[in-house]
């Protein structure tokens, strides 16, 4: 089984220079798959190549996405680096521990993504709800303005160490998480059924209710099979019970007709 290095996803990056610096440090540590979600100034940008110091290939092959969900859809494990997890929705881990997890997952054939927010805003809670863990670089609270490429450097460096050191001993592997596309598909089903059931009340709380729900299932990191099970659960609960009641009501209608 080939161990694919993680891809790096930059969500709404602002400065092309930083994108180039990210490409450079990716190349330093053996990464190459770069994905850009809504880069502020469009793409491609000459200044990115200028600041990559010859690490052109991650830039040449970079893919651009409109939606974060699309950028993550083929990944099994997504680790979000953020300096400010506003709410502790997901396990918060260190770069070292995250790299261990990424290394183990990759050695089992999973596709791993390292997600980073834009220079100013970082990651929103809704973005984080798509991920499996939050990584925080242990910076000094007195000065926590970490450059984007530096954040990528720390994660990429820790990743590389996992590749040159002996792999950690393994206890039975956890199930391979489904890719994000499958999970997002389940979210869509669940949320539309909940919508139909009048669950989202009051309406202005819908967004935060959706976020809180998604994070529960993201944290569970369900496998493909488990996602299918969950879909079956939602279908059964929303349709099955309805069918039972409808049958009863139909019978009641027939009874009243025949009486």
Of 104-133, which residues contact a copy of itself (CB under 8 A)? Answer: none
Distance in angstroms (rounded) separating the CA atoms of residues 86 and 77: 21
* Among the residue ranges 28-36, 67-75, 120-128, 178-186, the one whose residues contact a copy of itself (CB under 8 A): 28-36
Nearer CB in complex with a copy of itself: 207/246 = 246
Nearer CB in complex with a copy of itself: 121/248 = 248
Nearer CB in complex with a copy of itself: 67/147 = 147
| 184 lines the binding site for a copy of itself (CB under 8 A) | no
What is the closest distance, in whole angstroms, from the C-beta atom of residue 37 to a copy of itself in the complex?
A: 23
Distance in angstroms (rounded) separating the CA atoms of residues 31 and 165: 17
CB atoms within 10 A of CB 227: 20
Residues paired with residue 64 on neighbouring β-strands, in sequence order: 36
Q: Which of 46, 66, 140, 204 binds a copy of itself (CB under 8 A)?
A: 140
Half-sphere exposure at residue 105, Cβ-oriented, CA atoms within 13 angstroms = 26
- 86 within 8 A of 214, measured Cβ to Cβ: no
Q: Which of 137, 206, 224, 231 binds a copy of itself (CB under 8 A)?
A: 137
* Among the residue ranges 34-42, 103-111, 179-187, 236-244, the one whose residues contact a copy of itself (CB under 8 A): 236-244
Across the chain, the runs of DSSP E, i.e. the strands, are 7-11, 34-37, 63-65, 77-81, 92-93, 112-116, 133-135
**SS3 of 69, please?**
helix
Nearer CB in complex with a copy of itself: 42/91 = 91
Binding to a copy of itself in span 32-91, by CB under 8 A: 53-55, 84-85, 87-91
- 3 within 8 A of 107, measured Cβ to Cβ: yes
Nearer CB in complex with a copy of itself: 22/37 = 22
What is the closest distance, in whole angstroms, from the C-beta atom of residue 16 to a copy of itself in the complex?
A: 15
Binding to a copy of itself in span 209-228, by CB under 8 A: 209, 212-213, 216-217, 219-222, 226
Contact track, a copy of itself, 162-181, x by CB under 8 A: --x--xx-xxxxxx------
Which residues, including other chains, have CB under 8 Å from residue 15's CB and lie 6 or more apart?
40, 47, 119
Nearest to 84 by CA among 56, 121, 40, 41: 121
* Among the residue ranges 41-49, 101-109, 110-118, 240-248, the one whose residues contact a copy of itself (CB under 8 A): 240-248
- 152 within 8 A of 36, measured Cβ to Cβ: no
């Amino acid at each position: 089984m080939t161990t694919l290095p993680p891809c790096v996803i930059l969500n709404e990056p602002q400065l092309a220079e930083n994108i180039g610096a990210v490409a450079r440090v990716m190349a330093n540590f053996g990464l190459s798959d770069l994905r850009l979600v809504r880069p502020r100034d469009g793409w491609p940008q000459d200044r990115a190549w200028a600041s990559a110091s010859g690490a052109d290939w991650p830039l040449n092959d970079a893919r651009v996405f409109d939606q974060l969900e699309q950028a993550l859809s083929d990944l099994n494990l997504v680790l979000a680096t953020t300096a400010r997890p506003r709410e502790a929705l997901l396990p918060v881990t260190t770069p070292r521990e995250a790299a261990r997890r990424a290394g183990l997952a990759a050695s089992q054939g999973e596709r791993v993504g390292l997600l980073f927010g834009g220079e100013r805003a970082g990651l929103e809670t809704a973005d984080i709800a798509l991920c499996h863990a939050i990584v925080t670089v242990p910076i000094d609270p007195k000065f926590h303005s970490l450059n984007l490429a530096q954040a990528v450097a720390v994660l990429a460096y820790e990743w590389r160490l996992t590749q040159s050191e002996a792999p950690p001993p393994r206890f039975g592997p956890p199930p391979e998480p489904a890719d994000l596309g499958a999970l997002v598909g389940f979210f869509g089903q669940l949320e539309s059924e909940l919508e139909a059931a009048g669950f989202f009340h009051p309406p202005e709380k819908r967004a935060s209710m959706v976020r809180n729900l998604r994070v529960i299932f993201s944290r569970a990191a369900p496998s493909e099979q488990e996602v299918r099970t969950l879909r079956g659960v939602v279908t059964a609960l929303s349709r099955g019970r309805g069918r039972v009641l409808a049958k009863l009501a139909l019978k009641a209608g027939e009874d009243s007709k025949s009486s």
